[in-house]
Homo-oligomer: A and B are copies of this chain.
Amino acid sequence: MTEEVRMQQQPGLTYAQAGVNIDAGEELVRRIKPLVRKTFNDRVLTDIGGFGGLFDARFPAMKFPVLVSSTDGVGTKIKVAIEANKHDTVGQDLVNHCVNDILVCGARPLFFLDYFASGKLDVDVGEAVIAGFVKACSENQCALIGGETAEMPGMYAEKDYDLAGTIVGVVERDRMFRRESVSEGDVLIGLPSTGLHTNGYSLARKALLSRYTLDAAPSELHGATIADALLRVHRSYLSPVARLLERFEPGKEIRALSHITGGGIVGNTSRVLGERLALAIDWQAWQRPPIFDLIQEAGMVPEDDMRRAFNLGIGLILIVPKVCEQAITHALQEIGERPITIGAIVRA
């Protein structure tokens, strides 16, 4: 076909008619640029809109810097956000989830990149989601240096969207937590979760929505709605853990950490145990937040499935030698945390 023929032919199917609105994508980038730039620091060597995000890789104060990275999503928590039409928290959930995933290796965050895919790009929704990324990135001293916005008609329903995020952080090799250091007799100190965090939502929704609407406010929730309880932001444990690491040596006084995600307390904490060790959890040691009892009652969910699907109120576990238990518990209480000893390491 010659240039002339191409230009003369009657307009037919356009890119916009195929469901992809490049202008909406550009409008979203225009709106979020000033937000995203707020997360930048002097190690960010990039501007928004280039092909790649640039970050200073010199670590002059470290002997052996190790990059620690993790990718995650927020699971079907996103369906709750979409159904409740509340989009400013799921971005925070995702960043904080990723922060915790590298924190349990001992790493502090450097930068984050997001993937945002929707059936039809709604610029307002996109802006709210990305504002959530920005808020949590700022809170965790993490630069939001890249992202992809995809419009995928036919893959996602028009109002649906999915998110994925990737974090990269750094840790001194000698300051990493080490599963080899975990020993029989060590104590498990749990830190409370804010709710379901980002796991178990398929089960939670199926159980709860068979009995309640999202805006129902059963008395057990003390004034909060089901949506409020389900959308509570996955907390970041960076601040308390960073404070502890100023006083306690990783690998010795704090043996290892476990972020309680899919798989629950046992599934996740088992990952940091050597072969001959096991967990002895005292499941009565703490009070479960009421949302978990609501889920269990509404769905008649077997206890095993509750334990496998949910954090049940414990979002992060520190494994510490028995001799350090009191000092670490006190140190956590001093900074306003509510640590709970929930079990110990035993011989398998």
Given known A-B contacts A13-B300, A58-B65, A155-B76, A203 and B18 have beta carbons under 8 A apart = yes
Q: Decide: B52 and A102 in contact? CB cutoff 8 A.
A: yes
Residues on B with C-beta less than 8 A from A202 are 15, 18-20, 151-154
State how many angstroms separate the Cβ of A2 from the closest Cβ of chain B: 8
Docked complex Cα distance between A117 and B201 (Å): 15
Q: Decide: A70 and B53 in contact? CB cutoff 8 A.
A: yes
Given known A-B contacts A75-B152, A154-B79, A57 and B66 have beta carbons under 8 A apart = yes
Q: Decide: A166 and B302 in contact? CB cutoff 8 A.
A: no
The chain B residue with its CB closest to the CB of A306 is B6
Docked complex Cα distance between A275 and B164 (Å): 34
Q: Decide: A162 and B293 in contact? CB cutoff 8 A.
A: no
A107 contacts partner chain B, Cβ-Cβ < 8 Å: yes
State how many angstroms separate the Cβ of A325 from the closest Cβ of chain B: 23
A115 contacts partner chain B, Cβ-Cβ < 8 Å: yes
Given known A-B contacts A22-B262, A76-B152, A71 and B113 have beta carbons under 8 A apart = yes
A207 contacts partner chain B, Cβ-Cβ < 8 Å: yes
A245 contacts partner chain B, Cβ-Cβ < 8 Å: no
Q: Decide: A72 and B148 in contact? CB cutoff 8 A.
A: yes
Q: What mask results when residues 7 to 30 of chain A are scored 1 for a CB within 8 Å of chain B, else 0?
A: 101111111011110100000000
Residues on B with C-beta less than 8 A from A64 are 56, 58
Q: Decide: A113 and B69 in contact? CB cutoff 8 A.
A: yes
Docked complex Cα distance between A22 and B73 (Å): 16
A263 contacts partner chain B, Cβ-Cβ < 8 Å: yes
State how many angstroms separate the Cβ of A103 from the closest Cβ of chain B: 9
The chain B residue with its CB closest to the CB of A82 is B155
Docked complex Cα distance between A199 and B233 (Å): 35
Docked complex Cα distance between A45 and B202 (Å): 34
A280 contacts partner chain B, Cβ-Cβ < 8 Å: no
Residues on B with C-beta less than 8 A from A10 are 300
Residues on B with C-beta less than 8 A from A49 are 271
A136 contacts partner chain B, Cβ-Cβ < 8 Å: no
State how many angstroms separate the Cβ of A188 from the closest Cβ of chain B: 16
- Among A12, A67, A111, A176: residue with most chain B CB under 10 A: A67
Docked complex Cα distance between A15 and B76 (Å): 13
- Among A53, A57, A176, A262: residue with most chain B CB under 10 A: A57
Given known A-B contacts A57-B67, A153-B202, A102 and B51 have beta carbons under 8 A apart = yes
Q: Decide: A13 and B206 in contact? CB cutoff 8 A.
A: yes
B59, B73, B176, B200: the one within 8 Å of A117 (CB): B73
Docked complex Cα distance between A152 and B206 (Å): 12
Docked complex Cα distance between A70 and B111 (Å): 11
A93 contacts partner chain B, Cβ-Cβ < 8 Å: no
A78 contacts partner chain B, Cβ-Cβ < 8 Å: yes
Given known A-B contacts A13-B207, A22-B263, A70 and B113 have beta carbons under 8 A apart = yes
State how many angstroms separate the Cβ of A77 from the closest Cβ of chain B: 10
Q: Knowing that A6-B306, A54-B66, A69-B113 are A-B contacts, what are 17 other residue pairs whose CB atoms are under 8 Å apart, sorted by A's residue number?
A: A3-B284, A7-B303, A10-B300, A13-B207, A13-B300, A19-B202, A20-B309, A22-B262, A52-B68, A53-B70, A54-B67, A70-B113, A71-B166, A78-B155, A79-B154, A115-B166, A151-B202
